[in-house]
Amino acid sequence: MSETEIGRHGGDTAPGDQPPEESGEGSLGTYLVGLGLATLLTVVSFFIAGTTLVWRPSIPIAIGVLAIAQMGVHLVFFIHITTGRDNVNNVMALAFGVLIVLLLITGSLWIMAHLNHNMMPMNQLMQMQR
């Protein structure tokens, strides 16, 4: 295939495209490694959710860590986000997206927890209604 089709010039790589040295016939290996790692992390997540082997309060944190790790595996092995120079734009956009997501989720939870805390009589009233 020609250079035009894969778009490997101008110093950037499109998100989802593999770096040039990996694309072509050998690139199936990347997906296989990704599939293996993702399967492993998923199986561990499902196992740990129902197990009594570990200290129970640690389970939510373990599931969260495993989920973040698996998202990283998907980004690296399926979407081919790398630390390479040709991927800086993609990584910067991703970093900004992650920043907004974190602000949105932690901000919402923080504000709503404070509201709950400051409106204790209302909260108790609602708990009596339950």
Partner 1 sequence: MSATHAPTHVSGLAAKRIVTGYGFWIFLLSDIIMFAAFFATYAVLQDATAGGPSGHDLFDLHNVAIETACLLASSFTCGVASIGAQARRAWLFHGAMLVTLILGGIFLALEIREFAGMVAQGAGPTRSAFLSAFFTLVGCHGLHVTAGLLWLLTMMAQVFAKGFRADIQRRILCFSLFWHALDIIWVALFSMVYLLGAGS
Q: Which residues contribute to the site for partner 1 (CB under 8 A)? A: 1-10, 12-17, 23-25, 27-28, 30-32, 34-35, 38-39, 42, 45-46, 49-50, 59-60, 63-64, 66-67, 70-71, 74-75, 78-79, 89-90, 93-94, 96-97, 100-101, 104-105, 107-109, 112, 130
Is the Cβ of residue 49 or residue 125 nearer to partner 1 in the bound state? 49
Structure-token pair, residue 125: 């009233």
C-beta of 55: minimal distance to partner 1 in Å?
Answer: 13
What's the rounded Cα separation, in Å, for the pair 74 and 118? 41
3-state secondary structure 34-96: HHHHHHHHHHHHHHHHHCCCCCHHHHHHHHHHHHHHHHHHHHHHHCCCCCCHHHHHHHHHHHH
Nearer to partner 1, 11 or 121 (CB): 11
Please state, as a whole number, how many other Cβ atoms lie within 10 Å of the Cβ of residue 42: 14
Q: In the bound complex, what is the minimum distance in angstroms from residue 106's beta carbon to partner 1?
A: 9
Residues contacting residue 9 through CB under 8 Å, at least 6 positions apart = 3
> What's the min distance (Å) between Cβ of 41 and partner 1?
9
The least CB distance from residue 44 to partner 1, in Å, is 11
